[in-house]
Homo-oligomer: A and B are copies of this chain.
Amino acid sequence: MNFDFSDDQKLLQKTARDYLAEHSPLTVCREVLETDQPYAVELWKGAAEMGWQGAVIPEEFGGAGFGHLELAMIAEEVGRALAPIPFSSSVYFATEAILKAGSDAQKKKYLPALASGEAIGTFALAEKPGQSDVENVEARVSGGKLCGTKVPVPDGDVATFAVVAAQGDGGLSLYLVDLDTEGVSRESITSFDPSRSMARVEFSDASAELLGKPGEGAALVSHVLDRAAVLMAFEQLGAAQACFDDTIAFTQGRYAFGRPVASFQAIKHRLADMWCELELARSNAYYGAWALSNEEDELTVAACIARIQASEAFDDLAVEMVQMHGGVGYTWEYDCHLFYRRAKLLAAVLGTPAVWKHKLIDRIADAGED
């Protein structure tokens, strides 16, 4: 039994943390939030130089050839720093989709550019509000031309290409679509967390290339979402940990009635409960990482519980962070709202906890697993 990351993996994490502490303090997140800048371009380049975007891309395709455990460690740090870059869209979604279903030609075309950060990928699934994304896909490809509207597409305003779910001849399928091409029009739309951008992308007879087999779309979406869920859980975990650490520090330093706020039992006990939520999130995320890196059959179950607990813990902790900071927590000047916004955004972008709960029960109800 060694349910922990290795020393090498932890060292990689430490390197990532140090790099981000220097190059992505919260002021970088705030700058993207407060300006029209869709993401931190320099940080994105720096991350690519560190090999993060290509962490799980094989060396033959220009990647670092690490495994998913290493990527999980990087994701946790990206989360901790609230790094305002299209990392999840490009790495957890687009890269995973191509690794899974791409032809050799597709891999050669996209992976090296993804690894170098030159290409930014994203995943275009949702078309309208609600929790029925796969059921609601109306975008359609015929004769290699895609028509339809995807909204919201995370980072869709800055991505160079998208993996798009659309109806094809064999049913729902995935397609690769370059976004700087004829027949694609896109606009930034207001994000709940403007440090991460969102777009509406309209396709009118845009060239689309099949990714995977025709009709394999639903299975591939599920596959990609499982993998992204685990990686995203680490990003959420890192952010939740940062949120918790800041709240602990604040309540210890803030005095009321002649004593630290953190000495009041009501606050202490709530912090203890928050710590439990965070530790559960960490444990479930580790389970997900194990399943992902070993390609275990349990991946879906592990992804579900990692995703559910990470989303709920981060959301909880961000709400409590604002509350425990009192008045200043409600100001733009303090950083609490960066977490409060990011928590909701990350919980929304790849299926809400409710969606994953249904998926979990689908899996365990007949398995007799315990």
- Which of A's residues lie within 8 Å of B, judged by CB? 264-266, 268-269
Tell me which residues across on chain B come within 8 A of A264, comparing CB atoms: 265
Tell me which residues across on chain B come within 8 A of A268, comparing CB atoms: 266
In the complex, what residue of chain B is closest to A264 when comparing beta carbons?
B265
The complex places the Cα of A268 from the Cα of B265 at a distance, in Å, of 10
The complex places the Cα of A270 from the Cα of B264 at a distance, in Å, of 14
Task: Looking at the assembled complex, report how far the CB atom of A267 sits from the nearest CB atom of chain B, in whole angstroms.
Answer: 8
The complex places the Cα of A264 from the Cα of B264 at a distance, in Å, of 9
The complex places the Cα of A264 from the Cα of B265 at a distance, in Å, of 7
In the complex, what residue of chain B is closest to A268 when comparing beta carbons?
B266
The complex places the Cα of A266 from the Cα of B266 at a distance, in Å, of 5
In the complex, what residue of chain B is closest to A272 when comparing beta carbons?
B266
The complex places the Cα of A269 from the Cα of B269 at a distance, in Å, of 11
Tell me which residues across on chain B come within 8 A of A269, comparing CB atoms: 266
The complex places the Cα of A264 from the Cα of B268 at a distance, in Å, of 12
Task: Looking at the assembled complex, report how far the CB atom of A24 sits from the nearest CB atom of chain B, in whole angstroms.
Answer: 38
The complex places the Cα of A63 from the Cα of B211 at a distance, in Å, of 79
- Nearest 6 CB-CB pairings of A with B: A265-B265, A265-B266, A266-B269, A264-B265, A266-B266, A266-B268
In the complex, what residue of chain B is closest to A269 when comparing beta carbons?
B266
Task: Looking at the assembled complex, report how far the CB atom of A264 sits from the nearest CB atom of chain B, in whole angstroms.
Answer: 6
Task: Looking at the assembled complex, report how far the CB atom of A329 sits from the nearest CB atom of chain B, in whole angstroms.
Answer: 19
6 contacts across the A-B interface (CB closer than 8 A) = A264-B265, A265-B265, A265-B266, A266-B266, A266-B268, A266-B269
The complex places the Cα of A266 from the Cα of B269 at a distance, in Å, of 7
The complex places the Cα of A268 from the Cα of B266 at a distance, in Å, of 9
Tell me which residues across on chain B come within 8 A of A266, comparing CB atoms: 265-266, 268-269
The complex places the Cα of A264 from the Cα of B269 at a distance, in Å, of 11
Tell me which residues across on chain B come within 8 A of A265, comparing CB atoms: 264-266
The complex places the Cα of A328 from the Cα of B197 at a distance, in Å, of 57
Task: Looking at the assembled complex, report how far the CB atom of A57 sits from the nearest CB atom of chain B, in whole angstroms.
Answer: 49
Task: Looking at the assembled complex, report how far the CB atom of A323 sits from the nearest CB atom of chain B, in whole angstroms.
Answer: 13
The complex places the Cα of A265 from the Cα of B264 at a distance, in Å, of 7
The complex places the Cα of A264 from the Cα of B263 at a distance, in Å, of 12
Task: Looking at the assembled complex, report how far the CB atom of A123 sits from the nearest CB atom of chain B, in whole angstroms.
Answer: 34
The complex places the Cα of A269 from the Cα of B265 at a distance, in Å, of 10
The complex places the Cα of A36 from the Cα of B269 at a distance, in Å, of 44
The complex places the Cα of A300 from the Cα of B264 at a distance, in Å, of 44
The complex places the Cα of A268 from the Cα of B264 at a distance, in Å, of 12
The complex places the Cα of A268 from the Cα of B268 at a distance, in Å, of 14
In the complex, what residue of chain B is closest to A267 when comparing beta carbons?
B265
The complex places the Cα of A269 from the Cα of B273 at a distance, in Å, of 15
The complex places the Cα of A180 from the Cα of B269 at a distance, in Å, of 57
Max chain B C-beta neighbours (<10 A), residue from A264, A266, A268: A266
The complex places the Cα of A54 from the Cα of B264 at a distance, in Å, of 53
